[in-house]
Chain A
Amino acid sequence: MDLEQVDLPPRIYRALKRACFDTIDQVLHLSATELATRTSLEQRDVQDTLTILSEAVYSCVLCKSTALLERRQQYDRLSVGDPYIDAVLRGGVLTSSITEVHGKSAVGKTQLMLQLCIMAQLPVELGGLASGALYIATEQTFPINRFAQLEQHMKKRFPQLSNMNMSDNVHIVHIRDHETQQHILSYHLATAMLTHNIRLVIVDSIAANFRGDEDVASWDAAARAKAIFELGASLKKLAHEYNAAVVCVNQVTDIFNDTISHATVGGIQGGDPYLRVTACVQKDPNEDAVTPTLGLAWSNIVNTRIKMSRRDTLVPESDIVCANGSETAACNITRTLTVCFGPHLPLSNCKFEITASGIVGLSADK
């Protein structure tokens, strides 16, 4: 922000200009004493300058103590559309924050995203946000056929929605490289959200342009971490300003035992701290050890982390069927949705299956 935009007393403004200050950040980077020497302003004037500029950057007067109570209503939930999964998430996906969903391919991540796109358009009393959705696809194209199928099922479930055209309210952007992604997220998204009343942003997936882009692949770890932090900051800002739910799909990577055994915390060797940081509880030995991509840097940005996993077990007596090629008939697929961490969620999980009408949770005893 330029100094011209702030209502400074002319005398102070001239003194700052004389000392070659043009923007607010230049002034706020200095301590009061340093500013006094650079501008030869009096102590009192320096304090005034800092106060006026600080208020211009962050208005602290607005935050009254009652604001917190009002905020309580502001936290909306976007229901997933299934009572069991909603129970695990305590009502659904939280707005004003970043939720990550990670898991191996074919585990149902995109299915969940499509369902959220539909749920977001539902009126508030049905668990929706009564808003549009923005779908940023960085991997595959938006599966519009499946979306139409889910839409039909949802309309059957809630007949009052039958004259709503749901695909009109889902805005889809395909991004194929990191530079475009950064550009769209930092400049275009805010305008789009405002004009189309969007309160759900889905990035499917956050990792693709970090892992696939040749340009990014040549960066060193520090530059990559910096880019991840910038991306996270712009998403967080959007989430808060528009009270929107930001859901990021993340890929996973296998954990090699080597790196874990070397991980230490604060100089203390032992345990598996690094594993527990990023991955969820690995109580089930049959489950593969995987961890979300983009490392600790991205993990620091995520507010709520959800893991989706599946386990395929062959049904013993149907071995022959399997050999004939119809594998689906021979496999029992168990899918699980697990909460890894979240400021408002206990660690818990829920089994689910994917049907024609979408994701359906199963009660705990099944």
Chain B
Amino acid sequence: MLVPPLRPLATLNLEPNIRSRLHNAGYRTTADLGNVTAEALAQELGVPLHQANSVVQQLNKDTVVSISALEALARERRRLSISTFSKAFDSMLGGSGVPTGRVTEICGAPGMGKTQLGMQLCVNVQIPISCGGAEGEAIYIDTEGSFVVERVAEIARATYRSVGGSEENEKEQVDEYLSRIHYFRIHGYLEQIALINQMDQFLKKHPNVKLMVIDSIAFHFRQNFTDMGLRTRLLNGMAQNFRRFADMSDMAVVLMNQMTTRITRGEQSNNNTATLVPALGDSWGHASTNRIILFWQRELRHAMIVKSPNLQQRTIQYAVTGDGIRDPPTTNPTPNNPRKRPLDE
């Protein structure tokens, strides 16, 4: 049994006249109002029904709902993942790919394959459940203009073949894949915020969306901002929304981020070191649940998970091929740290 929290009425968002009427009628806390109906309250205070309604609505909203850890675990186990088609990449993310219900951030310098990864996921999220996919739709928010439909079609064709699709209706199937990717092109940070504001409605209309890719989150927030406080506030607001989408509709949110150079003064004053770090500053690091950095090393593409509550830190290799994201051809797997084992076993 949930006990309604005792909260002073003055802390509710009420119009001044209602607040004073409630006060005059002797109501002080939410408990005083109890289970009053809107009609009764309207009559008693002598206010229009819609105003009384808003009071009652706020009362009901305040009941806190919690779930137990066991329920949460069960929910976690029901969660689907979206495969990247690179076994190493998937296993780095816990075995089966990008998790739904989570915000995953992928950072990388230009040309690392962020967009390729985004396009691959948009296609792979549609793989039928019978073939181990999530059978959902995808939203692609493009802020940089790198989304090339022809390339997506190419990846879709390869995916369709690898899940054992027949050749005769390949073209229709590829078109089908494309039609389930909802694409938005954004030209400014305000548009980005405006789109996110409307996302709730969009998701209501398209309940089967299981993936949202934003490529990239940083681009429009790295210009025109003189007030860095405002930038941080807007980004945090957006991060809240992403977490909410991920949780509510149980979808995977994938944020692409750019890299920037940070110069740190070395011990000797002439020994400055340049470090590549994800853009948008330190506070943005809290926005995502999992954070992955992509980088080149010895002519090979590497991915490293740098932040995660349940995955161990490790580095893997992946490749970008004509068909999309795959494992590199010469597999010399990076040895796992034997002292650790994945937490979700």
Contacts and interface: CB of A to CB of B under 8 A. Distances in A.
Contact of B111 (A31, A66, A232, A340): A340
A25 B183 contact: no
Interface in A222-242: 225-226, 229-230, 232-233, 236-237, 239-240
Given A28-B190, A71-B149, A229-B222, A60 B297 contact: no
Contacts of B179: 65-66, 68-69
B181 A68 contact: yes
A58 B234 contact: no
Given A236-B144, A305-B110, A265 B182 contact: no
B91 to A, nearest CB: 20
Contacts of A68: 149, 178-179, 181-183
Contacts of A55: 194, 198
B189 to A, nearest CB: 9
B194 A265 contact: no
A252 B256 CA distance: 28
Max chain A Cβ within 10 angstroms of own Cβ: one of B148, B184, B258: B148
Interface in A25-46: 25, 28-29, 31, 36-37, 40, 42-44
Interface string A40-76: 1011100000110111111010010111110110010
B234 A264 contact: no
A37 B13 contact: yes
Nearest to A272: B296
B21 interface: no
B198 A51 contact: yes
Given A68-B179, A239-B145, A263-B276, A60 B150 contact: no
B110 A54 contact: no
B153 A271 contact: no
Contacts of B326: none
Interface stretch (B1-9, B22-30, B93-101, B298-306): B298-306
Contacts of B273: 262, 264
Interface residues of A, number: 73
B107 to A, nearest CB: 8
Contact of B276 (A75, A265, A297): A265
B311 interface: no
Interface string B246-282: 0000000000001111000000000011111110000
A75 B151 CA distance: 11
Interface range for B: 35 or more
B244 interface: no
Nearest to A300: B258
Contacts of A268: 295, 304, 315
Given A28-B194, A55-B198, A343 B110 contact: no
Interface in A294-344: 295-297, 299-303, 305, 340-341, 343-344
Given A29-B230, A68-B179, A266 B306 contact: yes
B180 A65 contact: yes
B296 A75 contact: no
Contact of A43 (B13, B193, B293): B13
A193 interface: no
A277 interface: yes
A293 interface: no
B99 to A, nearest CB: 21
Interface of B: 13, 15-16, 54, 57-58, 109-111, 115-116, 119, 137, 144-151, 153, 175, 178-188, 190-191, 193-195, 197-198, 201-202, 218-220, 222-225, 230, 233-234, 237, 258-261, 272-278, 293, 295-299, 304, 306, 315, 322
Given A65-B182, A66-B179, A71-B183, 6 more contacts: A55-B198, A226-B223, A233-B188, A233-B219, A263-B275, A273-B295
